[in-house]
Amino acid sequence: MKIAVLGTGMVGQALAGRLSELGHDVVIGTRDPQSTLARTEPDGMGNPPVSAWLQDHRAVGLATFADAVAGAELVVNATSGNGAIPALELAGADNLAGKVVLDISNPLDFSNGFPPTLFVKDTDSLGEQVQRAFPQARVVKTLNTLNAHLMVNPKALGQESSVFVSGDDAAAKATVTELLESFGHTDVIDLGDITTARGTEMLLPVWLRLMGALGTPAFNFKIVR
Amino acid sequence: MKIAVLGTGMVGQALAGRLSELGHDVVIGTRDPQSTLARTEPDGMGNPPVSAWLQDHRAVGLATFADAVAGAELVVNATSGNGAIPALELAGADNLAGKVVLDISNPLDFSNGFPPTLFVKDTDSLGEQVQRAFPQARVVKTLNTLNAHLMVNPKALGQESSVFVSGDDAAAKATVTELLESFGHTDVIDLGDITTARGTEMLLPVWLRLMGALGTPAFNFKIVR
């Protein structure tokens, strides 16, 4: 499948790399490819610059948000929370129309330091904001409840765990579920319509505290039943 | 141990029954014991009235919030979210001083129907509100992330799952952890100080959506790592 991955950070790299490895035709979307390629310093989290990552992943392309999405059948939104809607606006509503948007973004607000708070919650969610802003896109919120490495390699935990899908379009959720299963996920729980993204986005606060308590991001929620 | 359980609903009954079964000396606290005993109809959730429940649990006492807490070494707050601080005020700050308060309450707001929203979240929590209102109480937020039956019988799931403790007092958390282990919990995760209750209280929205998606409240979170 032709897939655009929006965002050049840890999540974007993890998704793009794994999708490419699985044989998909992947293009990373960014605001300005030239300035993205010109960055030679690690990012704030210590990750290598995208330019170096791309040299190790020659099959993955780099393009503007608009060009990446125009050529794609499916779009992965791996931007930071407050970058999600601006990135999708640059991608263009017309380019997004009819396409599955696998939305991983979380509404984290770091403006008051760590731990971050959520800039939308409880009575609304970032997933819903994205769906409202792009009503012709087929938004599926998923993978926002575990770390980037485990999103695409859940078997690395050595035990089964769970992921969630939220969205209004059943066929889009089926497409996303198939992708998740191709990553190794074995328990994909359909929570319901896009309003259920409120639930998974509000998992972030306990996820962050668990990372602190456990001293590692290498964990995931399993719904035991 | 002498234990006061505040609240006569499903959670209060589950905790009081199990603690009594384990040999503790349990008194349920309520606003007005006479009117509590006079209720002969099932509650809004279809649970039998407390009067009937007490006839099946002769070892469990019933008293005012203040009397129950005055005679107790440990207090379980099993009131509804918006009833928590009023109940504890009736119990009395002096009666609570120095005591471990195992706080199960969740800040659920049903005023706009189902699913409920949270009346405090993200930058504060009900656990913190309780601790601030009763600074001499040793508040431990726990058990608010699973249903009443599983709180006290986690082995009923047939697989291990996790519970969390949040609180400022390490000795109080150790006491509560011991109680939880006596119920059958095998993975009690200490998230940190009482501010980490924001994380577990914000689990409620996804818990409620999971109950809808799975068609049962008989599930729990396990932190796989």
Q: What's the rounded Cα separation, in Å, for the pair A19 and A75?
A: 12
* pLDDT band, residue A164 (cuts 50/70/90): very high
Task: Answer whether A221 sits within 8 Å of B219, measured CB to CB.
Answer: no
Q: What is the pLDDT, as a whole number, of residue B94?
A: 98
Whether the per-residue pLDDT at B44 is higher than 80: the answer is: no
Distances (CA, A) of B147 to A54, A196, A203: 48, 20, 18
ipTM over 0.90: yes
Q: What's the rounded Cα separation, in Å, for the pair B180 and B169?
A: 16
Whether the per-residue pLDDT at B81 is higher than 90: the answer is: yes
Whether the per-residue pLDDT at B99 is higher than 80: the answer is: yes
Structure tokens at A68: 């990446």
Rounded average pLDDT over B19-24: 98
Distance to chain B for A96, nearest Cα, Å:
28
The residue ranking higher by pLDDT, A77 or A44, is A77
Chain B interface test: which of A141, A173, A201, A202 (most B C-beta within 10 Å): A202
- Reported as a single tens digit per residue, the pLDDT across B169-186 is 999 999 999 999 999 999
Q: What is the pLDDT, as a whole number, of residue B42?
A: 84
Rounded average pLDDT over B12-26: 98
Task: Answer whether B221 sits within 8 Å of A225, measured CB to CB.
Answer: no
Rounded average pLDDT over B79-99: 97
Give A117's contacts in chain B (Cβ within 8 Å).
Answer: 122-123
Asked if A137 contacts A168 with a C-beta cutoff of 8 angstroms, the reply is: no
Chain A to chain B, count of Cβ pairs less than 8 Å apart?
A: 118
Asked if A101 contacts A31 with a C-beta cutoff of 8 angstroms, the reply is: no
Distances (CA, A) of A155 to A162, A175, A179, A211: 11, 21, 15, 19
Task: Answer whether A164 sits within 8 Å of B222, measured CB to CB.
Answer: no
Q: Least CB-CB distance to A218: which of B117, B200, B225?
A: B225
Find the residue in B nearest to A213 (Cα).
B191
- What is the reported pTM? 0.96
What is the SS3 string spanning B64-90? EHHHHHHCCCEEEECCCHHHHHHHHHH
Distance to chain B for A11, nearest Cα, Å:
20
Q: What is the pLDDT, as a whole number, of residue B29?
A: 98
Whether the per-residue pLDDT at B211 is higher than 90: the answer is: yes
Task: Answer whether A224 sits within 8 Å of B160, measured CB to CB.
Answer: yes
Asked if B127 contacts B173 with a C-beta cutoff of 8 angstroms, the reply is: no
Residues of A with CB under 8 A from a CB of B: 117-118, 121-123, 157, 159-161, 164, 189-192, 196, 198-200, 202-203, 205-210, 212-214, 216, 218-225
Listed residue (A21, A5, A9, A6) closest to A182, CA to CA: A21
* pLDDT band, residue A47 (cuts 50/70/90): confident
Q: Least CB-CB distance to A123: which of B117, B122, B207?
A: B117
Rounded average pLDDT over A206-219: 98
Distance to chain B for A166, nearest Cα, Å:
10
